[in-house]
Amino acid sequence: MRENLKKIEKFINSELTSKIIKSEINNDELLIQTNKEDLIDVIHFLKTNNECKFRQLIDIAGVDYPNEEKRFCLIYLFLSHEKNLRIKVKINFETHDQISSLTKVFPSANWMEREVFDMYGINFKSHPDLRRILTDYNFKGHPLRKDFPLTGFNEVRYSEKDKKVIYEKVKLEQNYRDFDFSSPWDGTKYLKEINKNEKQDDKKN
């Protein structure tokens, strides 16, 4: 399999010389990196060229690197049934960049891109129906961004008074919470105090 991957890697680099930033083979999968401007051309080539035949889009994965200049990364995973090979196509881009939708090349990318939009807020240019798919339409923020708070921004509950679902800002009041970080082997503080008082009472009796 590795020999076949090396052949495909060499072929792709020779045919798409100006569009490939780098390529590498890892865990029996070929990874190629390209620019967002060349993404559609590269993927169209991988699908239609007879030496490649990567005709199944498996998934689109997003990654958030908040400290990087090009904050976001998208990785497209493809499978060639004829060649029995897998390939990943990777792009890096900045926060407000728009990425060309893959739906005209792979119609199955529709819901995958909607999921990436919902979770990361990444916009896909020329997508036929770019709206949330996992969270509800009134949801605030994008949950898989590293700067998204673990509690979220809003909480949802049913109001008996209004007889409808309402959205409220998250309130985490912890004024009366007391955390005991002592070792579980030693027992908690209040148990120690109880035992101490019981021993003193026994001595008095």
**pLDDT tens for each residue of 159-176:** 888 888 887 887 765 554
Using one digit for the tens of pLDDT, what is the confidence trace for 95-127? Answer: 999 999 999 999 999 999 999 999 999 999 999
Query: At 27, which CATH number?
Result: 3.30.460.80
Per-residue pLDDT at 194: 64
Q: Confirm if 23 and 13 have CB atoms less than 8 A apart.
A: yes
Given a contact cutoff of 8 angstroms between Cβ atoms, the answer to whether 114 and 131 are in contact is yes
Residues forming a β-bridge with 30:
25, 87
Whether 29 maps to a domain, the answer reads: yes
Residue 39 lies inside a defined structural domain of this protein: yes
Domain membership of residue 151 (yes or no) is no
The verdict on residue 157 lying in a domain is no
Residue 83's domain comprises 2-134
Nearest to 26 by CA among 75, 88, 73, 90: 88
- C-alpha distances (whole Å) from 179 to each of 73, 122, 182 are 39, 39, 9
In a domain, 101, yes or no: yes
Per-residue pLDDT band for 154 (boundaries 50, 70, 90) equals confident
Residue 139 placed within a domain: no
Give the integer Cα–Cα distance in Å for 25 and 9. Answer: 8
* 87 close to 27: Cβ distance less than 8 angstroms: no
User: How many structural domains is the chain composed of?
Assistant: 1
Is residue 66 domain-resident?
A: yes
Q: Specify the pairing of strand 98-100 against strand 123-125.
A: parallel
Distance CA 151, CA 138 (A): 16
Between CA 137 and CA 131 the distance in angstroms is 8
Q: Is the predicted pLDDT of residue 188 greater than 60, yes or no?
A: no
Specify the pLDDT at position 169.
82
> Does the reported pTM lie above 0.75?
yes
Asked if the model's pLDDT at residue 41 lies above 80, the reply is yes
Q: Are 62 and 122 in contact (CB under 8 A)?
A: yes
Residue 147 in domain: no
